[in-house]
A = this chain, B = another copy of it.
């Protein structure tokens, strides 16, 4: 591995001159430029980013903390981040912290030692401990998540209350009134459950506690388990809002075993709109989240913050409903005609 010195020697110039040319500043003749470039090519010289970072105080590297690596959800976010980051000349170091555990502080330290230029934290919430640490790191941090948010730090999110509202409203517009929900069990009030309730109230449908069930996860198995529970508690529902695609697929499987036909007997609208939504039978009508773009936006924010030095605004991303085959009109007259 050759250094700038080797190049200087081979080209018969000083290292300062080589540096100028490499960083294309001004102050050299065409002639020397030619010589130096030739030497660089011949020696296959690559500047040492460590030395550069040491002096410039910029590493062109950011760190991404993401819990629950496995699922497609985080994947999409990460993909968006990576894409945008590389466009801006930033490398990304991934730190997968399954279920946001004790490892997180270790990762944060490593990122700090490596002097990353910024950090993106994916996750539903930010532990106080992490917040204190990144604050001391004094580098741009942006939060990327979908649940609560922490307005001490710039973030990119979606409005979960509005999303739930949209989803339930969609069901209502299709003629449903007895609507169930599989929500996520968390400490404190759930924004999604709120949105669900509000949508009902705004449409003069009375809220029934029996029709909402709280899952402990977002996976397929949770879907089959909690859909069964839901149907036991509220057998009269004609539709359900289920907060993840995988769970929705699980629900369809459970329904199948229960002899319930989707959407004929009960319509299902899901959340996220990942690839599976398009692969299930029937295809899932879902609230679509712009995951990829959210990742890109987060990367864009850190980049801006790195450039300007000033904090960025938070962003709420738009969602939309993608209609497919898991929801149908309730009215019997219509049902006959609809390809339900």
Minimum C-beta distance from A82 to chain B (A): 5
Docked complex Cα distance between A76 and B250 (Å)? 21
- Please indicate the chain B residues that have their CB under 8 angstroms from the CB of A91 in the complex: 93, 95, 110, 114
Please determine whether A49 and B253 come into contact, CB atoms closer than 8 angstroms.
no
Please determine whether A112 and B46 come into contact, CB atoms closer than 8 angstroms.
yes
Whether A54 is near chain B, meaning CB under 8 Å from some CB there, is: yes
* A 108-157 contacts with B by CB, 8 A: 109-110, 112-115, 136, 138
Docked complex Cα distance between A110 and B85 (Å)? 13
Whether A1 is near chain B, meaning CB under 8 Å from some CB there, is: yes
Please determine whether B86 and A48 come into contact, CB atoms closer than 8 angstroms.
no
Whether A69 is near chain B, meaning CB under 8 Å from some CB there, is: yes
Count of chain copies: 2
Please determine whether A69 and B82 come into contact, CB atoms closer than 8 angstroms.
yes
Known contacts A48-B113, A220-B279, A246-B279, A82 near B54 by CB under 8 Å? no
Minimum C-beta distance from A286 to chain B (A): 15
- Please indicate the chain B residues that have their CB under 8 angstroms from the CB of A275 in the complex: 220, 246
Please determine whether B50 and A54 come into contact, CB atoms closer than 8 angstroms.
yes
* A 211-252 contacts with B by CB, 8 A: 220, 246, 249-250, 252
- Please indicate the chain B residues that have their CB under 8 angstroms from the CB of A113 in the complex: 46-49
Minimum C-beta distance from A187 to chain B (A): 28
Docked complex Cα distance between A72 and B281 (Å)? 20
Docked complex Cα distance between A220 and B278 (Å)? 9
A256's nearest neighbour on chain B, judged by CB, is B281
The digit string for A24-59, where 1 denotes a CB below 8 A from any CB of B, is 000000000000000000001011111101100001
- Please indicate the chain B residues that have their CB under 8 angstroms from the CB of A96 in the complex: 79, 82-83, 86
- Please indicate the chain B residues that have their CB under 8 angstroms from the CB of A93 in the complex: 61, 91-94
- Please indicate the chain B residues that have their CB under 8 angstroms from the CB of A321 in the complex: none
Whether A70 is near chain B, meaning CB under 8 Å from some CB there, is: yes
Docked complex Cα distance between A30 and B247 (Å)? 58
Which residues of A are at the interface with B, using a C-beta cutoff of 8 A?
Answer: 1, 44, 46-51, 53-54, 59, 61, 69-70, 72, 75-76, 78-79, 82-83, 86, 91-96, 103, 107, 109-110, 112-115, 136, 138, 220, 246, 249-250, 252-253, 256, 275-276, 278-281
6 pairs, A vs B, C-beta closer than 8 Å: A50-B54, A69-B82, A78-B94, A83-B96, A92-B94, A276-B279
Q: A50-B115, A70-B79, A279-B280 are in contact. List 20 more A-B contacts (CB 8 A).
A: A46-B113, A47-B113, A48-B54, A49-B115, A69-B75, A69-B79, A70-B75, A79-B96, A82-B95, A91-B95, A91-B110, A92-B93, A93-B93, A220-B278, A246-B275, A249-B279, A250-B279, A253-B279, A253-B281, A281-B281
Closest 3 interchain pairs by CB? A49-B113, A49-B114, A50-B53
